[in-house]
Structure 1
Amino acid sequence: MGTIRKEIVIPAPAEEVWRDVRDVGRAHERLTPGVLVDCRMEGDARIVTFANGMVVKERIVTIDDATMRVAYAVVGGPPAHHNASMQVVTEGPRTSRLVWISDFLPDEFAQVAAPLIEVGAEAMKKALGQQPDPSSQDRPG
């Protein structure tokens, strides 16, 4: 099985990053703006539209708050099989790591998916790294 593992260090607390990762119906706004242009829920699945026009249905397998992990699987489209997970791990008080693992059949589909994953990872790093720091909020004087 073709596998791509991507780890993204994010300059934001894990709880804040998890808040956005677990909001699976707003991935186009909170995780990958510009890469995904639309995302809508249909029962336990989300329909995502990529900037290149590709539309994919992803069944949400689990949203696990205890482990800060989301798992999903592509339904009814190329490739023959695609499942993925994203897990947020605490690295420090204001730093986290997002671990994104995608598995594909046939193996060769990983070559097709790799550029999308790379662009998605960059978008996530940018979007998630822009979390507001509550200690730097303007306070009425």
Structure 2
Amino acid sequence: MASVKEQIEIPAPADAVWQIVRDFGAIDDYVPPITSACLSGEGLGAERTLTLADGGEVTERLTGRDEADRTLRYTLVEGPLPVKNYEGRLSVDSIDASSCAVTWASTFDVVDPPEEAVAATFSELYAAGLAGLKQRCIPRSAQ
């Protein structure tokens, strides 16, 4: 089983960042390769269909949202990447009153190797998404 983990520090309170991350249907607001997200359903079991910049589509299902731990979990239902048993997690951890660390991690089985190339694709996506989240969370006056 392969795994990928990216992390970023954001100079904003954890609770404020969590309010953005916890919105399962709004990932297109901060992940650049995603041009739109369409949410169907509510709560656990809700699915989002993501349209990618290249026109591809990915469907993901919300499997957990822990408000106390500020953690969101989801699985990949279908998409163009050669993986199965994909489980993703986004978590927001407080560093102090005015900053936090956001971690985006996943585990998956690679169907069509090389595993390193597939892992690198996810790593690049997560890094871009976390950078976009940071940009969205920092007040424009501080940028």
User: TM-score by structure 2 length?
Assistant: 0.80
Check conservation: 2:104, 2:126, Cα contact below 8 A: no
Corresponding residue of 1:41: 39
Larger radius of gyration: 1
User: TM-score by structure 1 length?
Assistant: 0.81
Matched residue type, 2:127: A
Of 56, 73, 78, which residue of structure 2 is paired with 1:71? 73
Structure 2: unaligned runs, 5 residues or longer: none
Matched residues, number: 132
Check conservation: 2:4, 2:105, Cα contact below 8 A: yes
1:101 matched to 2:99? The reply is no
Hey, what's the Cα distance between the residues in 1 that align with 2:66 and 2:73? 9
- Over 3 Å counting, the alpha-carbon distance change for 1:130 and 1:74 in structure 2 is closer
- Over 3 Å counting, the alpha-carbon distance change for 1:50 and 1:116 in structure 2 is farther
Check conservation: 1:71, 1:84, Cα contact below 8 A: yes
Spell out, residue by residue over 1:13-68, the C-alpha distance to the aligned partner (whole angstroms, 9 max, x if none). 11111010001101101x31x22101011221111111122211101001111110
Check conservation: 1:9, 1:125, Cα contact below 8 A: no
Give the share of equivalent positions with the same residue, in percent. Answer: 28
Of 76, 92, 97, which residue of structure 1 is paired with 2:96? 92
Hey, what's the Cα distance between the residues in 1 that align with 2:94 and 2:105? 17
Structure 1: unaligned runs, 5 residues or longer: 137-141
Aligned-pair Cα RMSD in Å:
2.1
Corresponding residue of 2:117: 111
Hey, what's the Cα distance between the residues in 1 that align with 2:104 and 2:92? 9
- Return the offset for 1:80: 2.0
